[in-house]
């Protein structure tokens, strides 16, 4: 699967897309392939304040449960209720409809420390 332009990645396989001070967060195509069939997504509470690296959400598959970590610090301003109702969106569209939550970012410079798509691809190999 092609990685959309502008995404940044954590070593733990979360991606982030910044739009102004709003960061959309999900898991990478590689992560969803490793998990296989996602059957449940536990979303974070709206208004929750996070630091980069905080465990924030949980994705469960038929194989395992996996914590999702905040790639950047901020406040949870939106959660993807579609993915809660249909967790398979994480598998079928991880960079689109399968996003998990959105943060109002404290410090946008944190995202610059994350890997770009090329560095993430190298990290996987």
d(CA 95, CA 88): 13
Tell me the Ramachandran region of residue 116: left when phi exceeds 0, alpha when psi lies from -120 to 50, beta otherwise.
Answer: beta
**Which band of pLDDT confidence, cut at 50, 70 and 90, is reported for residue 108?**
confident
Instruction: Spell out the residues 6+ positions from residue 35 whose beta carbon is closer than 8 angstroms to its own.
Output: 27, 59, 61, 63, 64, 66, 90, 91
Quote the pTM value. Answer: 0.95
Q: H or E stretch including 18? A: strand 14-19
Domain 8-107 sits in CATH at 2.40.50.100
3-47: per-residue pLDDT in tens?
Answer: 888 999 999 999 999 999 999 999 999 999 999 999 999 999 999
50-91: per-residue pLDDT in tens?
Answer: 999 999 999 999 989 999 999 999 999 999 999 999 999 999
């Amino acid at each position: 699967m092609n990685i959309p332009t502008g995404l940044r990645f954590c070593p733990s396989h979360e991606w982030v897309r910044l739009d102004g001070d709003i960061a959309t967060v999900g898991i990478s195509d590689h992560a969803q392939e490793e998990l296989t069939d996602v059957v449940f997504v536990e979303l974070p509470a709206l208004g929750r304040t996070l630091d980069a690296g905080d465990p924030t959400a949980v994705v469960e598959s038929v194989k395992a449960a996996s914590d999702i970590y905040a790639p950047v610090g901020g406040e949870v301003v939106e959660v993807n209720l579609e993915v809660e109702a249909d967790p398979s969106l994480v598998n079928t569209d991880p960079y689109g409809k399968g996003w998990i939550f959105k943060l109002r970012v404290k410090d946008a410079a944190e995202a610059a420390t994350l890997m770009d798509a090329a560095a993430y691809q190298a990290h996987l190999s």
